[in-house]
Structure 1
Amino acid sequence: MGENPGVVSLLYLHGVGNGDPRDAWRRALDKALQDAGYPGLDEVEVIAPKYPDVLRTDDGDKTIKIPPITAPRLSAEEQRNVRRRVERATAELETILGEPVPASPVGVTDSLAPIVLRVLRQAHNYVTKPGIRARTLRMVLDELPEEGEIVIVGHSLGSIIAIDLLRRLPPKLTVTGLVTIGSPAAHPNLHEDSDRLEMKAPVDHVGWWVNVWSNGDAVTGLRGIWRHFPWALDLQVGLGLDHRTTTYLRSKPVATAIGRGLFGSLSKELAVVEGTPDVALNSLEVRLALWLAYAQFLRDHLKGATQERFGAALRVVQHEVLERVIENYQADGVRIPQQLLDLRVSPDTPGDQALPRPKPLTQLSKEEAVLALVALATANPVRPYEIDVPDDVRRQAFHDLTVWMGLGGGLGENLHIAMQSASKAVYPVDQWKLWVGIGIGAAVLVAGPIGLALAAPAGLAGGAAIIGALSAFGPGGMVGGLVTAGAITTTGAGTIAATLVSSSSTAEDVEVTVIQLLTAAILRSREGLEQDLGVWLAMSEIQRQTGREVARLAAYSDDKAPGVEALRRKARAAERAMAYMVKNRLVEGLTDEEPKGEEPFEE
């Protein structure tokens, strides 16, 4: 039995065959670790049991029983906490490993068929014969330390053995990370008569699980294992038709995952980046600061478990957004304001430690703040996570935000009223709350080059870098609100309308974007500010272009064709908003006559 508790050990579980008696796997991994920037295996306690003789026997001694499960049962709350912890670690590892960049798919050749059949046959033999399974598991367990930390690497059939071990380890032994390579675990028939599929949720003593499979390795079924084990991170690589463990271990993603498990991060702290302390934030950087301030004010007013969950999600998003922005700035040679660097947060920071907050922004006038505030009001500030925020919490956050901006709490109250009024005007009374605050507004404006061109002011230093960083988080929500705030201008009305009317946008996209526009107009009215004619022109163009499309398509389409109905919904959103603006005199020079066929919506 291993004797070095407190040291991270490496358990390697081989697949079928002779058990690699010359340990070629070790030499391959040792070099790959060093190539990836980690120490080699010289100082690592390596445990590599060899069990080919066991796999080749029949059931053997029937008195040997499969080791019992030692992992404790968790309450629902404990399981939620474990899932969040594992997801945080997995998301961080996913960022480090990078996006999968597989080679072109490789066709499976006849020469690989014997290997596939042999692996699956022996794997099936292990699963269906309790005596073989019991002897194998007990042999491995006898070589493990009773306590400490361990990284498990399982290749091919070894990955199945690793999965069986996870819940049968000594209670004081923690698995820093599990790396499975070339695993046949995607084949459902291998899990018959086993308790393996009970691990749909993360296990308390396992930090993370990465499964790497090659797009030419038929043993894997040419797919990952997510369907059976949703908490595993599937990573596809392009290794050709090769199923050998040495080929997998030499790949950078595998070596990086194992190295991180054994040695931790190559850099325990955030890299020190030189900032520019005396440079004011540009318009996009100001929106970033507004987003963070608003999100933190929301967290302040939430309660209990929801506050904890929201704060944890914000920590992840704040880290990822700031790191991407700073990375893009460095790549483009753009100066980095010290105020941005001060907002960085390490993902390893304990969850109960306060997040850095932006300094108060008092340079914006009410006129300049309107669209940015409206964007935040209809955004999900912790996208892609979805957490319901009560209406009264949003109202309190608006108040705190506008006080923080030096514009007074009354502006926040008027923002809340304006958003409700606009939503009720555009939606039927019993439906409008469905979309407010869920972050789908302005999504289409970010989805393509038109939106990005409008979002970044021409000549703005760092504009492209910050847009590129934010667009990586997908359209809508916080991203959509931030980059489109300020894009609604008189000159951009026609372009915005064309984008919204296109088939790439949904009716909900248009409806919520119209709510944003109308909210801005109502807020300006309540604050005594001059109206922006671009709001009216944009909605007028939406109405005109959707009307033309309806006329064109309805001539030959079915009466209730989905595409035609979606266009009608888009047109109705603009018509209702314009009727409200006329009724409530929000645009100078327009007649008080109400458009026929539309009901007025009083504020």
Structure 2
Amino acid sequence: MESGAIVTTPTLVYLHGVGRGDLKQEWKDQLSQGLARIGFPSLDDVTVLNPVYADDLWEDPEAQHNFAVPPVQKHMTLSGLELLEFERRTAAMETRLGRHNRGAGGAFPEAVVSRSVELPLFVQARNFLNNQQIRAQVHRRILEQLPTEGEIVLLGHSLGSVIAADLLRRLPPELTVKGFVTIGSPLANGQFNVDDLFKLLRTPLSNVSWWVNFWSGSDPVAAKRGVSVAVPWVLDFRVKTSLVPGPGHSSREYCANDAVAEAIGFGLFGSRSKEIVLAEKNLQIPLNDAEIFVLQALRYCYLILQRLKGDEALRYEYALRETQDRLIEEIKSRNAEEGRPIPKEIARLDFDNGDPNAAAPVPGLSPFMPKEQAIERLLEIIGQNLLLPFEIEVPEKIQREALRDFTAETQLGSTVGADIFDALQMAVGVVSGSAKSNWRKWGAFGVGAAALTAATGGLALAAVPTVAGVATVASTLAAFGPGGMMGGLVTAGTLLTVGGGSLTAGVLSSVNTTEEIEALVVQKLSLAILWQRHEIDRTHEVWEEFAEAERLIVREHTRVKNVSDSSSPILKAFEQQRSTIERALKYLSDHGMEPGWFEELEPPAPTPFLKLRAKKTD
């Protein structure tokens, strides 16, 4: 924004329900107090329009008017990239307010609303729904008082929410609804589908930035459910109001709620300032392994984003934005529990995801890592979907280019990035038996084994005692429990660096599929290939782990075979897992990565499935 630019606050328009139209304007007083209470300006300097149309909701036998309901504007539904932008704004509101909750509803509350429409108290509502002349009068009265251009925040209570929804497609074309908030709305009830309104609102509208509905379980008009039952693109949130039915439905009670004030305040004023305060501003807080992993993952994704274009770039940017917000929030929460200050590298990545116009800061360069450590980390990063639950397939050429730049800017050299992709492709060919197999299939599966084991075993993976005692996960997983980060990053640092026994634990876990076992073998074999290529003398570690895994698979296969049916899928899975390990061991042996027996304390016994060949020594 240029210096000296004038910021115009949208006009707040309130549409009332049945009765005389909230003449005391208690809703406004409560809302203004709520805005100030949570850090927004009050309504003192906001233009507030409160059209009164109560008289127009009554039948007048002597009236000679013949108004027509204003026509709907054409071409107002969204599609393509515009729809993606709407989803982004809606997701931002959910981030700001909490999780969508449309409620369960029920036969009794539904019947209460349906029967209530027939009561004398609700004759005004019945008139609006059934009398086209009255409906036209109400629309005309409201439109006469609205601006013809600019921005408004629209707030509708009870019947006013129905009137407001009916007006959306009839507003002047230059007038934009910056935010639409409904409270105590009966729109979930089919009787309020005036003039096939639900069909007209089946998709988001181009003149509405977002629509948030608040309902209360003690509000009989809301019938224990939200508006998204009828209009699927509405965000529903449950709030508490008085247990007494009358006050529980009142606009005064709803507008006293901080969540309602938050939504309206954001529509009127935008995002409040948000920043992380470091405990020691002059102290350089060192990054732990989990924080480094997050920085590296986000940086790699950003390098991918730079190369994407069009619709693919917009979708990827949205997914990356959501991922960055989730990861930074998780780090902040975890560090707060541990009393650990936030490193400045993490603090600078924080932003207000509840504001769709707030830019997500660009991740900085990855901290330097020795080649041996970097190879393991980068293999983890590219071997899993970092943007889960979103799935966006990026061409391998772009991923290679992004990783090449990543390794170049971290002083590892661009060839390291190319080597990692080559090793993955080679390992996939060994495991699948085809050099043309897509390694990304195994990348998607790769999250599963460790994630499921972590979810069932807490913050540590226990190795089989006969292998290496109890091996705990490195500091990365210890920093993020199963209830924290979603998707691949919950297992950061576990697939490759957990140490001896991680593969064995996966093989024997009943929650893991053969595909997940294959994914672990692909990643371990890739690591051995990279170690050999870069002359890191650790390839024997992978051989030993594969050999031990094979021995245990044979043992489990024999134990299960003696009891199970010969056609058992479990037996077939053991055979496939055994075959996978065989191929991996053969590759290691053929390429000089099988250790000599003189290096072993106790030579492993030959198995029926693979004859181990001892190397000749001088």
Normalising to structure 2: TM-score of the pair? 0.78
Q: 1:587–1:152: structure 2 CA closer, same or farther, 3 Å change rule?
A: farther
For 2:581 and 2:47, how far apart are their aligned partners in 1? 69
Q: Which amino acid is the alignment partner of residue 146 of structure 2?
A: L
Looking at structure 2, the residues matched to 544 and 218 of structure 1 have their Cα atoms a distance apart, in angstroms, of: 62
- Residue deviations 1:410-465 (CA, integer Å, cap 9, x gap): 322221122223333434759953853764422353351636335998895x975x
The alignment status of 1:467 with 2:470, answered yes or no, reads no
Query: 1:491–1:534: 8 Å Cα contact kept in structure 2?
Result: no
Q: Is the 8 A contact 2:81 2:311 kept in 1?
A: no
Q: Is 1:516 aligned to 2:529, yes or no?
A: no
1:341-399: CA deviation from partner (whole Å, max 9, x where unpaired):
3444555999897953423433x223212331121122223333322201111222222
CA deviation vs aligned residue, 1:498-551 (integer Å, no higher than 9, x gap): 5xx233x45544443343233323333333331263675378548846974896
- Sort the Cα spacing of 1:335 and 1:55 in 2 relative to 1 into closer, same or farther, 3 A: same
SS in 2 for 1:194: helix
Cα–Cα, structure 1 residues 24 and 360, in superposed 2: closer, same or farther, change >3 Å? Answer: closer
Change (3 A) 1:514 1:120: farther
1:420 is matched with 425
Q: Give the 3 Å change call, closer, same or farther, for CA 434–524 of structure 1 in structure 2.
A: closer
Asked if residue 283 in structure 1 is aligned to residue 296 in structure 2, the reply is: no
Residue in 2 aligned with 1:575? 579
The match for 2:253 is 247
In structure 2, what residue type is equivalent to 1:90? T
Q: Is 2:335 the counterpart of 1:329?
A: yes
CA distance change for structure 1 residues 247 and 354 in 2, over 3 Å: closer, same or farther? closer
Question: Equivalent residue for 1:270?
Answer: 275
Distance 1:162 1:417 in 2: 59
Q: What is the distance in 1 between the residues matched to 2:338 and 2:547?
A: 37
Q: Is the 8 A contact 2:113 2:189 kept in 1?
A: no
Indicate the residue corresponding to 1:261 in structure 2. 267
Query: Is residue 69 from structure 1 mapped to residue 66 from structure 2 by the alignment?
Result: no
Change (3 A) 1:316 1:191: same
The residue type paired with residue 94 of structure 1 is: E
* Within-5 A mapping of 1:276-355: 278-345=284-351, 347=353, 355=361
Deviation sequence 1:465-512 (CA, Å, 0-9, x none): x525x9544233xx14535355431154554445xx233x45544443
Assess, with a 3 A threshold, how the Cα gap between structure 1 residues 211 and 438 changes in structure 2: closer, same or farther.
Answer: farther
Kindly indicate whether the alpha-carbon contact (under 8 Å) linking 2:211 and 2:235 is maintained by their aligned counterparts in 1.
yes
Change (3 A) 1:451 1:397: farther
Point out the structure with max Rg over C-alpha.
2
CA shift, 1:8, in A, is 2.0
Structure 1 residues 458 and 195, CA gap change in structure 2 (3 angstroms): closer
1:224 corresponds to: 226
Contact 1:19 1:51 in 2 (8 A): yes
Where 1:206 maps in the other structure, the secondary structure is coil
The 5 A counterparts of 1:400-419 are 400-419=405-424
Paired amino acid for 2:36: Q
Unaligned runs of 5+ in 2: 1-6, 463-470, 598-603, 612-618
C-alpha distance in 2 between matches for 1:554 and 1:189: 65
Q: Is the 8 A contact 1:119 1:219 kept in 2?
A: no
Mapped to 1, the partners of 2:338 and 2:401 lie a distance apart of: 39
Please give the alpha-carbon distance, in whole angstroms, between the structure 1 residues aligned to 2:250 and 2:268.
22
CA distance in 1, matches of 2:562, 2:218: 49
CA distance in 2, matches of 1:408, 1:117: 74
Which whole-Å CA distance do the structure 2 matches of 1:120 and 1:403 have between them?
A: 73
Counterpart contact for 1:276–1:335, Cα < 8 Å: no
Taking a change above 3 Å as real, the CA distance of residues 348 and 225 of structure 1, as seen in their structure-2 partners, is closer
- 1:179 is matched with 181
Q: CA RMSD in A?
A: 4.3
SS of 1:10's equivalent?
A: strand
CA shift in 2, pair 1:186/1:407, >3 Å: same
Q: 1:259 to 1:487 in 2, by over 3 A?
A: same
CA 1:84–1:304 in 2, change beyond 3 Å: closer, same or farther?
A: closer
**Residue 402 of structure 2 is aligned to residue 383 of structure 1:** no
Query: What fraction of aligned residue pairs are identical, expressed as a percent?
Result: 31
Task: For residue 178 of structure 1, report the CA deviation from its aligned partner.
Answer: 0.9
The 3 A distance-change label for structure 1 pair 358 and 39 is: closer
185-194 vs 146-155, greater mean Cα deviation: 185-194
Where 1:11 maps in the other structure, the secondary structure is strand
User: 1:157-208 CA distances to partner (integer Å, 9 max, x unpaired)?
Assistant: 2222221222221222221211112222223453364244333333233222
**Is the alpha carbon distance of 1:138 and 1:595 closer, same or farther for their aligned partners in structure 2, counting shifts above 3 Å?**
farther
CA spacing shift, 1:424–1:139, aligned 2, 3 Å: farther
Cα offset, 1:291, TM superposition:
0.8
Q: Is the 8 A contact 1:445 1:452 kept in 2?
A: no
Matched, 1:452 2:459: yes
The residue that corresponds to 1:92 in the other structure is 92
Return the match for 1:482 from 486, 492, 501: 492
- The question of 1:502 aligning with 2:494 is answered no
Q: Within the alignment, does 1:537 sit opposite 2:545 as a pair?
A: yes
Aligned equivalent of 1:200, options 196, 199, 202: 202
Q: Return the alpha-carbon distance in structure 2 between the equivalents of residues 50 and 351 of structure 1.
A: 34
Cα deviations by residue, 1:22-54 (Å, 9 ceiling, x for unpaired): 333233323333333333333322222233444
Q: Distance in 2 between matches of 1:426 and 1:281?
A: 36
Change (3 A) 1:390 1:137: same
Tell me the distance in 2 between the aligned counterparts of 1:344 and 1:387: 24
C-alpha offsets along residues 41-84 of structure 1, whole Å, 9 cap, x if unaligned? Answer: 3332222223344434389878422212236447xxx7433333
What amino acid is aligned across from residue 131 of structure 1 in structure 2?
A: Q
Distance (Å, rounded) in 2 between the aligned partners of 1:332 and 1:299: 33
| Corresponding residue for residue 235 of structure 1 | 237
Whole-angstrom distance in 1 between the partners of 2:474 and 2:494 = 17
Matched to 2:405, the amino acid is: D
Q: How many pairs are equivalent? A: 575
